[in-house]
Amino acid sequence: MNPLLTDDAVADLPLHDARAALLAEILRTPAPAGRRVPIAVASAAAVAAAAAVVGLVVTLPGSDADRAPDQATTGVAASGAAEPRPITSIRGDLVSATDWTVVYTRLTVPELAQGGSDAAARPVAAATVRMTSDETDRDVVLRGRPAESYEVWLRRLEARADAPATPVRVLGRSGLRLEFDGRTVLVAPPLHDRWWQVESVDATTAEVLALAGRAREAS
């Protein structure tokens, strides 16, 4: 770390050619166009009638035995293991983990409808999971949205993403990982009456994947 190296000092570094070369390289990179990632979209018909309560069970970073069997697909180190073992409900017990401790999980009030097309996709459930380590805290937010909004919302997310979506494990089922400006958003397709969006403003991709890979939605 070189904390007090100012931008002026950086500007004086002999990087003129490298600066120009990188600019030329980037400009040769095709600008993104709207794209549609071919995926098998779960049928919204899988919708059960309105379940009033968020049935989200969180299993969290812990021993290898707690890891989801297909977590390797998330890119997080994992070995084969049994089905994730629920440790706590989202309603808020403390959970210990190897590196992280969940301080709380909190159901939050869904945002109010903003009108227009967004009204159909407004969250019907939301939860914040705060994890803490010796050094810092992370908040991961899960938003459940109406199942019927999934297709439209997904296309919108894909259009904004930096790169095509990649398959990952999210809340116990096959989902998608999208990147926006280096930020990671995970999407779990519809189950029952809703689909889930998982993201964080401060957790890294690995941390979001670790949490989402160990959490599942209760039936």
Partner 1 sequence: MTTNETREQRFERLYVGHFDAVLGFAIRRTQRSEDAADATAETLLIAWRRLDHVPEGLAARPWLYGVARRVLANQHRGERRRTALGERLRRDLAAAWPDVAERVVHEQTVVGAMQRLSARDQEVLALHLWEGLAPQEICEVLGLPGAVVRPRLSRARARLRELLGEEPRPTIHPTVHVLTREIR
Instruction: Provide the binding-site residues for partner 1, judged by CB under 8 A.
Output: 1-15, 17-19, 21-23, 25-27, 29, 31-32, 75, 135-137, 160, 162, 180-183, 201-202, 204-207
State which residue, 177 or 194, has the beta carbon closest to partner 1: 177
Residue 5 CB, shortest distance to partner 1, in Å, is: 5
State which residue, 22 or 65, has the beta carbon closest to partner 1: 22
Residue 202 CB, shortest distance to partner 1, in Å, is: 7
Task: Tell me whether residue 101 is exposed, middle or buried, using C-beta atoms within 10 angstroms of its C-beta: 0 to 12, 13 to 18, 19 or more.
Answer: middle
Residue 152, token pair as written in the block: 């439209």
State which residue, 3 or 116, has the beta carbon closest to partner 1: 3
Residue tagged 């049994």 (tokens): 82
Taking the alpha carbons of 82, 85, 90, 96 in that order, is the dihedral positive or negative?
negative
Across-strand partners of 100?
none
State which residue, 13 or 41, has the beta carbon closest to partner 1: 13
**Strands of the sheet with 56-58, listed across from one edge:** 88-89, 56-58, 215-217
Closest CA to 58 of 204, 203, 198: 198
State which residue, 147 or 161, has the beta carbon closest to partner 1: 161
Tell me how far apart the terminal alpha carbons of the chain are, to the nearest angstrom: 48
Residue 83 CB, shortest distance to partner 1, in Å, is: 26
Distance, in Å, from the CA atom of 124 to the CA atom of 181, rounded to the nearest integer, reads 26
Residue 33 CB, shortest distance to partner 1, in Å, is: 11
Angle at 27 between CA 21 and CA 28, to 5 degrees: 90
Residue 175 CB, shortest distance to partner 1, in Å, is: 18
